[in-house]
Amino acid sequence: MLGTLAGLGLATAAAAHGYTAGDIAIGHPWSRAAPAGITGAGFMTLRNTGSAPDRLVSARAEIARTVEMHTNVQEGAVMRMRPVESIEIAPGQEVKLAPGGLHLMLVGLKQPLTKGARVPLTLVFQRAGEITVELSVEAAGAAGEHHH
Ligand SMILES: [Cu+2]
């Protein structure tokens, strides 16, 4: 039993990567393979382990002209993306940036996002400050793909 649990723990540690900035834990930042010139996406989980609210106020990446924060909203039968000013992370809460919901947009890719690559992305939090994480680039999947 102990051996099985230890094995699972190792497997999880190898597959996922995470970062900590102050009270904010950033879990498995990832992106999808995409060619240069278009817009890529950034996904991750943001968990606030502290007792004060924090917010992601901006992000930037060398690989993109600009990085925007978006949410997906339902308008009748259509899902539309809408820019948001910031993403709030309440104390003790976890916010998921995932396909179909909140996400980062890497606008104007200067280079392709290649599967298997690690792409530096700097996140700026109101309280926790700046941290540079690496987006792990996964396959270009159809599920949750969105268009500009
Ligand atoms: Cu978007």
Instruction: Using pLDDT thresholds of 50, 70 and 90, give the confidence band for residue 15.
Output: low
The three state secondary structure string of the chain is CHHHHHHHHHHHHHHCCEEEECCEEEEEEEEECECCCCCEEEEEEEEECCCCCEEEEEEECCCEEEEEEEEEEEECCEEEEEECCCEEECCCCEEEECCCCCEEEEEEECCCECCCCEEEEEEEECCCEEEEEEEEEECCCCCCCCCC
Report the separation in Å between the CA atom of 11 and the middle of ligand 1, taken as the mean of its atom positions: 31
Tell whether the model's pLDDT for residue 6 goes beyond 50.
no
Task: Determine the pLDDT at residue 4.
Answer: 45
Report the separation in Å between the CA atom of 14 and the middle of ligand 1, taken as the mean of its atom positions: 29
- CATH class name, domain 18-138: mainly beta
Q: How far apart are CA 18 and CA 50, in angstroms?
A: 17
Going from N- to C-terminal start, the domains of the chain cover 18-138
Total Cβ atoms within 10 A of residue 128: 23
Tell whether the model's pLDDT for residue 57 goes beyond 60.
yes
The answer to whether 134 and 119 have CB atoms below 8 angstroms apart is yes
Report the separation in Å between the CA atom of 115 and the middle of ligand 1, taken as the mean of its atom positions: 20
Report the separation in Å between the CA atom of 104 and the middle of ligand 1, taken as the mean of its atom positions: 7
Report the separation in Å between the CA atom of 127 and the middle of ligand 1, taken as the mean of its atom positions: 25
> What percent of the chain shows pLDDT beyond 90?
78
Non-local CB neighbours of 144 within 8 Å, separated by 6+ positions: 98, 99, 100
Tell whether the model's pLDDT for residue 101 goes beyond 60.
yes
Q: Compute the average pLDDT of residues 55-64.
A: 98
71-90: pLDDT as tens digits: 999 889 998 999 999 999 99
Instruction: Using pLDDT thresholds of 50, 70 and 90, give the confidence band for residue 141.
Output: confident
Task: Determine the pLDDT at residue 12.
Answer: 45
Residue with tokens 């926790």: 128
Report the separation in Å between the CA atom of 15 and the middle of ligand 1, taken as the mean of its atom positions: 26
Q: How far apart are CA 98 and CA 96, in angstroms?
A: 6
